[in-house]
């Protein structure tokens, strides 16, 4: 039973030494418990926050404890009346081969799910995040301009495609020409810009001749700086993530733009609202699942996954994601 624990807390970007691979005996389920065999492990940006002990909306992983994460598992042994051997479940058992559960928090996926790993992506947390943040906070309307970065990831890619279904003109932002091509040709965005281009801010201005009505915030940093002057009166900004800052150890160098931001919020009457998906919208998951499965079966939403083989490669894949090296929803085939 391999497991990856947090060996030490990162300062800045995580490095290999922050993780440790251990081998421990496979646990034996007691009465009322199941033994889960991890098949897929989801890697997500929020895990960077759990590696630090700065105050946040969720507790950090303790040093020497198993890294947390959503998993899709098969029930290997069941001593629980509600679960049978061989069935698939969505769990939160973290970066390890095996885990025990008393059933709390498990969602059943059936005996023969068609795409079990989708429970970690398009049908799970990232898809749900895209859906609620865009529709509830972003309130996109036909003919409006929607801008979203991390445009080929599970959140951004889904945001843009839902925006299109609502009749928006969708401008994506992604790292590099290959991702940008996928956003326009694969996902049908109207345009996609490379945030690494030296004239990125100018390109964004040209791509949004009518300004920006909805900016779905995934990254912060210089992308937000380029977006801010383009926001229209009564624009909505769902604040979903700020990945460009997750490794930051201090505030960015000046000038201090807080007063510019506040003045823009006031004069443009912006709605800027953060959200944490399950805390704020957990009660609306069924609504999302119904609509998303319909869109998927009608081919209206495309979904790209990047599978990485082997638990032992999880740290490297995770560190890569924070640098934009993933292309699609990052999932480890344990
Ligand atoms: P992604 O798979 O899209 O991975 C992250 C991507 O962010 C990278 O591939 C990279 O894409 C981009 N990125 C990384 N660093 C930078 C940077 N400095 N500037 C611009 N882009 C950068 O992740 P998800 O789709 O899972 O998550 C997207 C966002 O949503 C994250 O911020 C995450 O924290 C947030 N989130 C929030 C939730 C909530 O409840 N509020 C729930 C789930 C996710 P590229 O190469 O294209 O730049």
Cα(244) to centroid(ligand 1), Å: 8
Same domain as 198, residue 320: no
147: alpha, beta or left? (left if phi > 0; alpha if psi -120 to 50): beta
| Nearest to 128, CA basis, from 18, 17, 311, 286 | 286
Which pLDDT does position 100 carry in this prediction?
A: 98
Q: Ligand 1 test: best mutation among 13, 123, 133, 150, most atoms within 8 Å of CB?
A: 150
Cβ-Cβ contacts under 8 Å for 199 (sequence gap 6 or more) = none
> Does residue 292 fall inside a structural domain?
no
Instruction: Report ipTM (2 d.p.).
Output: 0.98
Residue 199 predicted with pLDDT over 90: yes
Which pLDDT does position 311 carry in this prediction?
A: 98
Same domain as 177, residue 91: no
pLDDT digits (tens, 9 = 90+) for 287-330: 999 999 999 999 999 999 999 999 999 999 999 999 999 999 99
Whose tokens are 């229209």? That residue is: 232
Q: Which backbone phi and psi does 231 adopt, to 5 degrees?
A: -70, 135
pLDDT digits (tens, 9 = 90+) for 248-287: 999 988 899 999 999 999 999 999 999 999 999 999 999 9
Nearest CA to ligand 1 atom 44: 126
| Nearest to 288, CA basis, from 62, 70, 132 | 132
CATH of the domain at 192: 3.40.50.720
Which pLDDT does position 188 carry in this prediction?
A: 98
> Is residue 256 classed as helix, strand or coil in its secondary structure?
coil
Same domain as 183, residue 75: no
Cβ-Cβ contacts under 8 Å for 145 (sequence gap 6 or more) = 168, 169, 171, 208, 210, 211, 212, 213, 214, 232
- DSSP one-letter string for 112-175: S-SSGGGGGTTTSHHHHHHHHIIIIII---TT-EEEEESTTSHHHHHHHHHHHHTT-EEEEEES
Which pLDDT does position 178 carry in this prediction?
A: 97
Nearest CA to ligand 1 atom 18: 244
Please state the domain count of the chain: 2
What range does the domain containing 26 cover?
A: 2-120+303-333
Residue 13 predicted with pLDDT over 90: yes
Which pLDDT does position 253 carry in this prediction?
A: 87
Same domain as 149, residue 210: yes
């Amino acid at each position: 039973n391999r497991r990856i624990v947090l060996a030490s807390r990162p300062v800045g970007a995580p490095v290999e030494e922050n993780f440790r691979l251990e081998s421990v005996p496979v646990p034996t389920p007691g009465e009322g418990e199941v033994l889960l065999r991890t098949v897929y492990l989801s890697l997500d940006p929020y895990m960077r926050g759990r590696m630090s002990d700065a105050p946040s909306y969720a507790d950090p992983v303790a040093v020497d404890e198993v890294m947390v994460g959503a998993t899709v598992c098969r029930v290997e042994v069941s001593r629980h009346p509600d679960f049978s051997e061989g069935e698939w479940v969505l769990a939160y058992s973290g970066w390890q081969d095996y885990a025990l559960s008393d059933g709390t928090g498990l969602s059943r996926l059936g005996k023969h799910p068609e795409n079990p790993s989708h429970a970690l992506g398009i049908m799970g947390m990232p898809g749900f995040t895209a859906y609620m943040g865009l529709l509830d906070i972003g309130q996109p309307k036909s003919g409006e301009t929607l801008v979203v970065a991390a445009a080929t990831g599970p959140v951004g890619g889904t945001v843009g495609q839902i925006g299109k279904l609502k009749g928006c003109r969708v401008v994506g932002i992604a790292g590099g020409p290959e991702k940008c091509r996928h956003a326009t040709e694969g996902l049908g965005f109207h345009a996609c810009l490379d945030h690494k281009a030296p004239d990125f801010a100018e390109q964004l201005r040209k791509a949004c001749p009518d300004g920006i009505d909805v900016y779905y915030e995934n990254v912060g940093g210089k992308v937000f700086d380029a977006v801010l002057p383009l926001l229209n009166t009564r624009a909505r900004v769902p604040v979903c993530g700020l990945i460009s800052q997750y490794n930051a150890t201090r505030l960015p160098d000046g000038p201090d733009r807080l007063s510019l931001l506040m003045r823009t919020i006031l004069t443009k009457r912006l709605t800027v609202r953060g959200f944490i998906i399950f805390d704020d919208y957990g009660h609306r998951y069924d609504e999302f699942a119904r609509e998303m499965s319909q869109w998927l079966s009608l081919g209206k939403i495309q979904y790209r996954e990047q599978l990485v083989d082997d638990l032992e490669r999880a740290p490297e894949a995770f560190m890569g994601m924070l640098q934009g090296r993933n292309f699609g929803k990052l999932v480890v085939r344990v």
